[in-house]
């Protein structure tokens, strides 16, 4: 695709400084952009790349100093959001897959919607219902009674097990397993762990996106639920009977233990661990590598292990960094106290002699 700078600026409501008819055929990072490409600058850490970027045009914040006359500028309030709109409108990749491949197995009881494409070696089992405009890429296995709604995109090597459901416009990336058995066992009188049947399912609501190599366990009873517009990064484990709220984002290598509820508009950063049967409230941010051992219901930012409010954690860390200094001061004070006690004792002995 090739567009004029004016086309991009009109879409995002930007003000052009330069040649509005210059052509753009791609978008790129500021440090890698070349002629014919559009880039953006929104974070001060990347300003060092501006003098040498070879981009034809750059999206900048209002008031940015336009010190180069060999580049075209589009001025907006939020360059990162503006670039996202341009990518989605002009440069959003199309994942081409058409028809139903001859190697796919589709049970005769399955219902396949219109304009749905199914790739090589896909298995669609009994009584599945697949909506319209769905793309299912190669080597995916869909077990019995699965419902996949309209406009979903399911990449290669995904497994969706029996009775699971998706909403509309769900994206599931390669290697992910939806509906694996929850980690449910109970020990008998001899300490032998016996498996508890996991007879629930997983529900992915509208506009959910699941990264690659994610495991979302089916509920023991009821549903493990990922609510509308939640986004889950690669290598995340969601245990049985968990609920993830609307518009919540979970970063890579996070683990959420069973029956935990995560609220709406929250963020779990990378490698966060949550114990089971707790509640994370709405608008809660949990920092990277935090260990959450109890409910966090108050909106705010938390970090550390065990997780606590960020301001408290920072105060504690400041004190910990000062421990060597405190130890030296205590040592000096102990020496002075000892000297003072000796002086007092010597004085008392003199007075009594």
Q: Which residues face 130 on adjacent strands?
A: 112, 148
User: Residue 347 pLDDT more than 90?
Assistant: no
Inter-residue contact 286 to 307 (CB < 8 Å): yes
Average pLDDT, the chain: 95
Q: What would the mean pLDDT of 290-296 be, rounded to a whole number?
A: 96
Backbone region of residue 2 per phi and psi (left: phi > 0; alpha: psi in -120 to 50; beta: other values) = beta
Residue 353 predicted with pLDDT over 80: no
Bridge partners of residue 292, in order along the sequence: 274
Tell me what the mean pLDDT of segment 109-120 comes to. Answer: 97
Q: If phi over 0 gives left and psi between -120 and 50 gives alpha, with beta otherwise, what is residue 202?
A: beta
DSSP letter at 189? T
CA atoms within 13 A on the CB side of 281: 11
Helix/strand/coil (H, E, C) string of 4-62?
A: EHHHHHHHHCCEEECCCCCEECEECCCCCCCCCEEEECCCHHHHHHHHHCCCCEEEEEC
**Would you say residue 168 has pLDDT above 90?**
yes
Q: How confident is the model at residue 93 (pLDDT cuts 50, 70, 90)?
A: confident
- Average pLDDT (288-309) is 95
Active site residue 25: no
Q: What is the DSSP string of 317-353?
A: HHHHHTHHHHHHHHHHHHHHHHHHHHHHHHHHHHHH-
Residues across the chain: 353
pLDDT band at 8 (very low <50, low <70, confident <90, very high): very high
- Residue 90: the pLDDT is 95
| DSSP state string for 258-315 | TT-EE-TT-EE-TT-EE-SS-EE-TTEEE-TT-EE-S-B-SSEEEETTTTEEHHHHHH
Percentage of the chain with pLDDT > 90?
Answer: 89
For the segment 179-195, the average pLDDT, to the nearest whole number, is: 95
CB burial readout 162-190, b (16+ within 10 A) else e? bbbbbbbbbbbbbbbbbbbebbbeeeeee
Give the N- to C-terminal CA distance of the chain in Å, as an integer. Answer: 104
Q: Is 258 a residue whose pLDDT tops 90?
A: yes
- Give the confidence band of 310 by pLDDT, cuts at 50, 70, 90: confident
| pLDDT of 314 over the 90 cut | no
Nearest in space to 259 (alpha carbons), one of 305, 225, 208:
225
Q: Return the structure tokens found at 344.
A: 């007092």
pTM: 0.86
- Residue 338 confidence (pLDDT) above 80: yes
The answer for residues whose C-beta is within 8 angstroms of residue 187's C-beta and 6 or more apart is 193, 194
pLDDT over threshold 90, residue 319: no
**pLDDT of amino acid 234:** 98
Q: What is the CATH number of domain 158-311?
A: 2.160.10.10
Residue of 143, 187, 184, 182 whose CA lies nearest to 165: 143
Task: Quickly count: other Cβ atoms within 10 Å of residue 324's Cβ.
Answer: 9
Residue 95 pLDDT > 90:
no
Each residue of 39-90: pLDDT tens digit?
A: 999 999 999 999 999 999 999 999 999 999 999 999 999 999 999 999 999 9
- Give the pLDDT band (50/70/90) at residue 315: confident
Classified by CATH at the fold level, domain 3-91 comes out as 3.40.1390
Q: Check: CB of residue 258 under 8 Å from CB of residue 242.
A: yes
Counting residues of the chain whose pLDDT is more than 70, the rounded percentage is 100
Q: 248 by DSSP, 3-state: which? A: coil
Out of 25, 138, 173, 240, the active site residue is 240
Q: Give the pLDDT band of residue 94 (cuts 50, 70, 90).
A: confident
Q: Each residue of 191-248: pLDDT tens digit? A: 999 999 999 999 999 999 999 999 999 999 999 999 999 999 999 999 999 999 999 9
pLDDT at 327: 92
Q: What is the C-alpha separation between 333 and 337, in angstroms, rounded?
A: 6
Residue 350 pLDDT level (bands cut at 50, 70, 90)? confident
pLDDT at 157: 97
Task: Give 74-101 as a DSSP string.
Answer: EEES-HHHHHHHHIIIIIPPP----SB-
């Amino acid at each position: 695709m090739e567009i004029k700078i004016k086309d991009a600026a009109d879409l995002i409501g930007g003000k052009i400084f330069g040649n509005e008819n210059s052509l753009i055929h791609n978008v790129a990072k500021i440090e890698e952009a070349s002629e014919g490409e559009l880039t953006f600058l929104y974070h001060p850490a990347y300003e060092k790349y501006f003098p040498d970027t070879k981009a034809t045009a750059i999206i900048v914040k209002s008031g940015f100093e336009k010190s180069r006359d060999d580049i075209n500028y589009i001025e907006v309030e939020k360059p990162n959001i503006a670039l996202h709109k341009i990518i989605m409108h002009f440069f959003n990749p199309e994942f081409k897959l058409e028809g139903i491949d001859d190697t796919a197995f589709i049970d005769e009881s399955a219902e396949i919607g219109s304009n749905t494409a199914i790739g090589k070696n896909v298995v669609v089992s009994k009584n599945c219902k697949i909506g319209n405009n769905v793309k299912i890429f190669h080597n995916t296995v869909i077990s019995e009674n699965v419902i996949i709604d309209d406009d979903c995109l399911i990449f290669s090597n995904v497994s969706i097990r029996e009775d699971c459901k998706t909403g509309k416009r769900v994206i599931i990336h390669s290697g992910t397993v939806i509906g694996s058995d929850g980690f449910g066992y109970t020990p008998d009188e001899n300490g032998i762990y016996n498996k508890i049947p996991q007879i629930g399912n997983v529900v992915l609501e509208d506009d959910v996106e699941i990264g690659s190599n994610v495991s979302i366990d089916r509920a023991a009873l009821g549903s493990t639920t990922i609510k509308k517009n939640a986004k889950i990064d690669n290598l995340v484990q969601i245990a049985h009977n968990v609920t993830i709220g609307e518009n919540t984002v979970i970063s890579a290598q996070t683990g959420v233990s069973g029956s935990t509820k995560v609220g709406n508009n929250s963020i779990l950063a990378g490698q966060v661990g949550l114990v089971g049967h707790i509640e994370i409230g709405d608008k809660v941010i949990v920092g990277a590598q935090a260990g959450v051992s109890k409910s966090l219901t108050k909106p705010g930012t938390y970090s550390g292990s065990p997780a606590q409010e960020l301001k408290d954690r920072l105060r504690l860390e400041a004190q910990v960094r000062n421990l060597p200094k405190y130890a030296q001061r205590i040592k000096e004070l102990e020496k002075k106290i000892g000297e003072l006690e000796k002086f007092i004792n010597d004085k008392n002995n003199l007075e009594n002699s």
